[in-house]
Amino acid sequence: MEGQFMTDQGLVRSHNEDAGGVFYNKHGQLLAVIADGMGGHQAGDVASRMATSLIEEKWLDAEQLNSPEAAENWIKLAVEEINRKVFEHSLVKEECKGMGTTFVVAACTSDFITVANIGDSRCYMLSESGFKQITVDHSLVNELVRSGQISKDDAEQHPRKNVLLKALGTEQSVIPEVFSLGWESKDRLLLCSDGLSNKVMDEELHQLVSTDEEIEQIEIEMIRLANARGGEDNISVIIVMYDSPKKDGEG
């Protein structure tokens, strides 16, 4: 099992408010996380980096997760605590008032994955049954699509496309979407911020994540594409492979 985080400022933003990483606990289980911060001044990067570093700290100290129920409970408690700490920080630091962050996290074991998300940073899965987004965006336009008020095509150009219905750290408590799935050899996960998913179509992401290239090369190409189409936002991506491809010279 191997994963890699990559982030890029993009071509327009003055700084990068995305954060994330790939971390292993002492039992070799992998945690992938991406956070896309928001807020005045540079408070967005404070929120996203706080959320990432807090869950990394907790994961490095975590016991082995032997069941989906244990993993879901661990993530729920972790998100609850992290949300509270980010929210409290926003109350005591004037420059951080109103800050928050999206949050998508995947805990990966050899038998199952447990995924949680808040906001519109996404997790996709590539498996024998195809490639699909497995998280649900907590955004205004997605709610309009789900209720039948606008089409998916309309959503792409909607003037309020970036309005979130839920974020981490903006309120005293938040409830993430948490679920578990089985996975097996050759399956892959893709986590990303909307700086990627707003610019690169799902079909293109599918094509790229399905190649035999190294993780780093796939992510470089994804970021290049997003920047070639304007790069107005920060771009972050993680690919997790259940089986890592053999490198040259390996048996």
- Condensed to tens digits (0 to 9), the pLDDT of residues 45-56 reads 999 999 999 999
Calculate the alpha carbon distances from 72 to 112, 127, 215 in Å.
11, 22, 27
Q: What pLDDT does residue 244 have?
A: 67
Residue 184's nearest CA partner among 244, 111, 129 is 111
CA 215, chain centre distance (Å): 16
Rounded Cα gap, residues 129 and 47, in angstroms: 36
- The answer to whether 199 touches 230, Cβ cutoff 8 Å, is yes
Amino acid at 248: D
Compute the half-sphere exposure of residue 123: CA atoms within 13 Å on the CB side of its CA: 29
- The answer to whether 47 touches 39, Cβ cutoff 8 Å, is yes
Q: Give me the phi and psi of 232, to 5 degrees please.
A: -70, -15
Positions of the chain with pLDDT under 50: 246-251
Amino acid at 22: V
Rounded Cα gap, residues 205 and 95, in angstroms: 37
CA 9, chain centre distance (Å): 16
Q: What pLDDT does residue 149 have?
A: 86
Rounded Cα gap, residues 92 and 84, in angstroms: 13
- Average pLDDT of the chain to the nearest whole number: 93
Token pair belonging to 24:
């292993």
Q: What pLDDT does residue 247 have?
A: 44
